[in-house]
Structure 1
Amino acid sequence: MSPAHDRTHNGSPSVLIVDDEIIERTSTAETLKNAGFYTVDACNVAEAVFALEMVSGIRVVLTDIDLRDSLDGIVLAACVDRRWPSVGIIMTSGKIEPMPGDVPSRACFLRKPYCEARMLATVRGMIEQSVP
């Protein structure tokens, strides 16, 4: 997870990016930072939960579904839905189409590859809907 324990966000909304592919994480983080967001990244569910517990102010979790771990993005989305009800959830995948019951009611699904503008609009929409 990086940056670890950084609580200074300079007023920027924070997005947790969860993807086991470093190139995807880095690219997504760069896009979000260029749009004015603060980002935290994780490569698996355990790191993501740790980040949510340790970094204050995360407003949206943007997670890939296929994390090549024993726990996947579907498990993470359910966990976030239960434990952090004010955090928006965006699930993504280019391989897996989630079943309707796999996506929490307040979450959304973006199929990869997605255009940056659509991803940014979805993140902004989640932040507008969430309670800080």
Structure 2
Amino acid sequence: MNIQWKGLRPIQGEVVVVEDDPTLRQLMVDIVVELGASCIAFDNAEDALVHMLSPVANCGLVIADHGVPGSIKGMELAAMVQQKWPGTGFVLTSGYLLDVSGLPPPLVYLLKPWSIDALVVAIAQTLQPGVAIHKVG
């Protein structure tokens, strides 16, 4: 995989990925690492939240599927993250149409199936709104 984008600034802090499909979770991690960020992945929101509450966590972005197993779904995790850590970027994905109008920015909703390019653009829109990025090559 060779992801090169002009205008995409380095990601500050670690990226937390929450996705229950192991193949998709690994793809998301690979994309984030290719963008130069450190990443930690979970298959449910509860474990991700426990990690984020630890004193060593330095989360700059969360990418989470809405339909993960457990009692906390992706939209609820987004609301919790935005309340506890305002300004932390959040990319919410789902295979179903969701009404995310009640969630404040920085949040980008990405409908599945998404492309690698669409995920990179969603990350950029979340972390650097209004900044134009362009694919190289």
* TM-score between the two structures when normalised by the length of structure 1: 0.79
Please state whether the residue corresponding to 1:62 is helix, strand or coil: strand
Task: Flag structure 1 segments of 5+ consecutive residues without an equivalent.
Answer: 1-10
Aligned-pair CA distance for 1:91: 0.5
Aligned-pair CA distance for 1:86: 2.1
Cross-structure match for 2:126: 126
Say what the alpha-carbon RMSD is for the aligned residues: 1.8
Cross-structure match for 1:88: 89
Deviations along 1:35-94, one digit per CA (max 9) or x if unpaired, are 212111111121111121224321111000001322211111111111111211110011
Contact 2:94–2:110, Cα closer than 8 Å, also in 1: yes
Distance 1:29 1:98 in 2: 24
Q: Does 1:117 align with 2:117?
A: yes
Distance 2:99 2:60 in 1: 25
User: Aligned runs of 1:15-54 on 2, under 5 Å?
Assistant: 15-54=15-54
Query: How many pairs are equivalent?
Result: 117
Please state whether the residue corresponding to 2:87 is helix, strand or coil: coil
Aligned-pair CA distance for 1:12: 5.4
Distance 2:73 2:122 in 1: 21
More helix by share: 1
* TM-score between the two structures when normalised by the length of structure 2: 0.76
Contact 2:67–2:74, Cα closer than 8 Å, also in 1: yes
Query: Which structure: larger Rg?
Result: 2
Please state whether the residue corresponding to 1:105 is helix, strand or coil: coil
Aligned-pair CA distance for 1:113: 1.4
